[in-house]
């Protein structure tokens, strides 16, 4: 576990006001929460008492790691660029649990459960979050079908989305 206070920073790449926001993780904090392989990892904890879970921390270069702040988290924190936030985080090693309807579909189509479980945690999360973000039952069933089809065709999430876009189903 690690606790620290850092300012909210903005990447120079983004034009919109609340995009490209991030915080830098101090090097002293990394030794308590990071693996030693210099890859991205996930954390959970809180930022100014706003609970976070499975948030990705990515290497920026030169030993610096950053935690992007998405629009929803930014609104919840209620602070802007340059404002300091109190961060309390630890490594999040939890596994992605598929949506109930998605898991039921896996049980009905052979080999899809094994294919899903063989995906990386980030790929599992992309598929699962995409299905769970559906606003109507019709969209959800379409997304489950697309996920099943992608798993049967050994496609990752990005490839599936490109294929759906190409076929104008997205």
pLDDT number for residue 36: 67
Residue 98 CA to residue 100 CA, distance in Å, equals: 6
Residue 47 or 29, more confident? 47
pLDDT at res. 141: 95
Angle 89-12-159 from CA coordinates, rounded to 5°: 75
For the record, the structure tokens of 87 come out as 């961060």
Which pLDDT value is given to residue 38?
A: 67
Q: How many helices (H) and strands (E) does the chain have?
A: 7, 7
List, for residues 97-145, the tens digit of each pLDDT value. Answer: 888 999 999 999 989 999 999 998 889 989 999 999 999 999 999 999 9
With a CB cutoff of 8 Å and minimum separation 6, the contacts of 43 are: 33, 52, 55, 57, 67, 89, 90, 91, 92
Read off the pLDDT of residues 2-37 as tens digits, 9 standing for 90 and up: 889 999 999 876 556 567 899 999 888 887 776 666
- Specify which of 29-33, 41-45, 69-73, 142-146 reaches the highest per-range mean pLDDT: 142-146
Give the whole-angstrom CA distance, residue 92 versus residue 41. Answer: 8
Task: Tell me what the mean pLDDT of segment 46-72 comes to.
Answer: 89
Percentage of the residues of the chain whose pLDDT score is greater than 70:
92
* pTM score, whole prediction: 0.65
pLDDT at 93: 81
Residue 56's pLDDT is what? Answer: 87
Q: Where in the chain is the domain with CATH 2.40.30.100?
A: 2-91
- Residue 57 contacts residue 42 (beta carbons within 8 Å): yes
Nearby residues of 13 by Cβ (< 8 Å), 6 or more positions away? 20
Confidence of residue 154 (pLDDT cuts 50, 70, 90): very high
For 113-156, where are the E strands, in sequence order? Answer: none
> Is the CATH number 2.60.40.10 carried by domain 2-91?
no
- In 3D space, the residue among 69, 63, 67 whose CA is nearest the CA of residue 27 turns out to be 63
Report how far residue 64's alpha carbon sits from residue 136's, in angstroms, rounded to the nearest whole number: 41
Alpha helices in 26-120 (DSSP H): 27-33, 71-77, 100-108, 112-117
> Mean pLDDT over all residues of the chain?
88
């Amino acid at each position: 576990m690690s606790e620290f206070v850092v300012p909210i920073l903005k990447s120079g790449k983004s034009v919109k006001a609340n995009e490209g926001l991030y915080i830098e993780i101090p090097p002293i904090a990394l030794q308590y929460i990071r693996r030693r392989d210099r890859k991205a990892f996930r954390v959970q904890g809180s930022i100014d008492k706003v609970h976070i879970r499975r948030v990705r921390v990515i290497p920026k270069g030169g030993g610096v790691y950053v935690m992007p702040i998405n629009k929803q988290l930014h609104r919840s924190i209620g602070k802007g660029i340059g404002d300091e936030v109190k961060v309390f985080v630890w490594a999040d090693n939890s596994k992605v649990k598929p949506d109930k309807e998605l898991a039921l579909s896996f049980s009905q189509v052979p080999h899809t459960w094994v294919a899903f479980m063989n995906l990386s945690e980030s790929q599992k999360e992309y598929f699962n979050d995409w299905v769970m973000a559906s606003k109507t039952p019709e969209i959800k069933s379409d997304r489950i079908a697309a996920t099943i089809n992608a798993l049967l065709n050994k496609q990752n999430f990005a490839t599936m989305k490109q294929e759906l876009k190409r076929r104008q189903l997205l």
